[in-house]
Amino acid sequence: MNYQETLAYLDRLGHELLRARFGLEKIRRLLAELGDPHTAYPSIIIAGTNGKGSTAAMLEAILRQAGMRTGLYTSPHLVRVEERIQVGGQEIAPEELAALATRVRDVAESLLHRGEIEARPTYFEFLTALGFEYFREQKIEIAILEVGLGGRLDATNVVPPFLSLITSIDIDHEQYLGSTIASIAREKAMVIKPGARAVLARQHSEAREVLLARCRECGVRPIWADEEVEIAGGEPDGRFSIVYRMASGESLNVRLGLRGRHQIENALVALRAAEVLREMGYAIPASALRQGIERVAWPGRLEIIGPSSPRLVLDGAHNTAGARVVRAYLEEFGRRPLTLVFGTMRDKRIAEMAAELFPLADAVILTRVPDERAASLEQLLEQTAALRQPLGRPIEAIEPVGAALDRAWERTPSSGMICVTGSLYLVGEVKRWLARSGREAGLSASEGG
């Protein structure tokens, strides 16, 4: 297959979540037929509700600054599927993606023909196997893997025990993981395995109890990255500097490359994980800890596109906890007047997300994300109807996304801010629209993503 044929084949595998079939038997059989590429290098697996992608990016940046050849596997992508699979900070090339996809497809079809798997791999299983094989080909030294959904039955959770990280756990994907924090934590806790090390972020008490129980079951001593840290300074765009206390007792001044106070907790997980790797014999100097956290870029997470007038901020917050983070950022660093462009998936707690965000905005524009799972304009209006009267201003509903963005620019003065949020899929569509419309030529992503 060439690159375009590869993209068409991936599309035929079906929607990443709606067509998902959770379980490990198929991915294990596929990987076995490929020669178990995931066993050729140690893997760090990262689960959690929010922050796991940012944490993965920060840890990968630290290890790369230490001179290690890293593999990074994340999801979903914003614009290009190649974003998900990176070696040494560089995305897999389209022609490499196509060549590997052809090989993985042929192996999968052979297994299906022989009756050794009951169906073709899902979209996520296919890319996971492809990523593992690419990492082996590229002779990486260590892989950083972001769990797609949950943990227990996620395709990434086939890797041998080494180091498991769990970021903050909250309510999301209830139809798959359960409706309580404890039930969700039980799914995510299964990335902790006997023989592995575990670094855990600050948690709700219910999640903390579940994670501790899993650690006891596996004979793993948890390392908590939940200490209070000294904030040494802040910048007008929302980036903070902290004083990090290393295991040696030495203090390290670190400027976070990612915006928002919540990134302090994610940085602590990445820094503690790097120190665990140092204890395991990896040569990671203190300078790599500092430089990795400072230089990391992670698009779509409080990403400022600019300098622009008005300022454009993109964030893929896709659940209530994520909406709270965006609200906190806007309260502290937002410009006024503020126009909010909001679109999300129909299986989310739309009313809760809206209640967090809409009261901050001087204008609200609803739009439909171009995705099979997306909430329609009618659903968005219905779910947010109770907010209209208290807001005291109309809520507009506009599609497609480009028309919603045009309206936001039309009504927001140069001194104000446009915030696009509700879904990473929406952020990806906005980035594509910026490129198609030519607006991208006048905008440049500011340093630090």
Q: How many CB atoms lie within 10 A of CB 248?
A: 10
3-class DSSP state of 113: helix
CATH number of the domain where residue 290 is located: 3.40.1190.10
For residue 447, pLDDT over 60 is answered with: no
Question: How many domains is the chain partitioned into structurally?
Answer: 2
Burial (CB count within 10 angstroms: exposed 0-12, middle 13-18, buried 19+), residue 244? buried
Domain span including residue 256 = 3-295
Same domain, 334 and 284: no
Q: How many CB atoms lie within 10 A of CB 53?
A: 22
405's enclosing H/E stretch is helix 401-411
Q: Are strands 90-91 and 85-87 parallel, antiparallel or unpaired?
A: antiparallel
Contacts of 16 by beta carbon, 8 Å cutoff, 6+ apart: 75, 76, 122, 123, 124, 148
Among candidate residues 236, 263, 295, the one where a domain is terminated: 295
Q: pLDDT band at 171, cuts 50/70/90?
A: confident
Q: How many CB atoms lie within 10 A of CB 214?
A: 22
Q: What's the angle, vertex CA 419, arms to CA 416 and CA 425, rounded to 5?
A: 155
Q: pLDDT band at 68, cuts 50/70/90?
A: very high
Question: Is the Cβ–Cβ distance between 72 and 84 less than 8 Å?
Answer: no
Same domain, 94 and 129: yes
Cis peptide upstream of residue 76 (ω within 30 degrees of 0): yes
- For residue 127, give the nearest of 171, 169, 91, 88 by alpha carbon: 91
CATH number of the domain where residue 333 is located: 3.90.190.20
Position 18 scores a pLDDT of 64
Question: b vs e for 193-212, b when ≥16 Cβ sit within 10 Å of the residue's Cβ?
Answer: beebbbbbbbbeeebbebbe
Position 449 scores a pLDDT of 45
Residue 242's DSSP bridge partners are 231, 254
Provide the residue type at 377 as one letter: L
Residue range 286-304: mean pLDDT, rounded: 97
Among candidate residues 279, 295, 311, the one where a domain is terminated: 295
Read off the pLDDT of residues 304-333 as tens digits, 9 standing for 90 and up.
997 668 999 999 999 999 999 999 999 999
Same domain, 278 and 307: no
Q: What span, in angstroms and rounded, lies between the C-alpha atoms of 266 and 48?
A: 11
Residue 363's DSSP bridge partners are 339
Mean pLDDT of the chain, nearest integer: 94
Read off the pLDDT of residues 405-446 as tens digits, 9 standing for 90 and up.
999 999 999 999 999 999 999 999 999 999 888 665 445 444
Two tokens at 251? 């203090």
Residue range 64-87: mean pLDDT, rounded: 98
Read off the pLDDT of residues 116-160 as tens digits, 9 standing for 90 and up.
999 999 999 999 999 999 999 999 999 999 999 999 999 999 999
Position 248 scores a pLDDT of 87
Same domain, 286 and 356: no
Q: What span, in angstroms and rounded, lies between the C-alpha atoms of 323 and 140?
A: 36
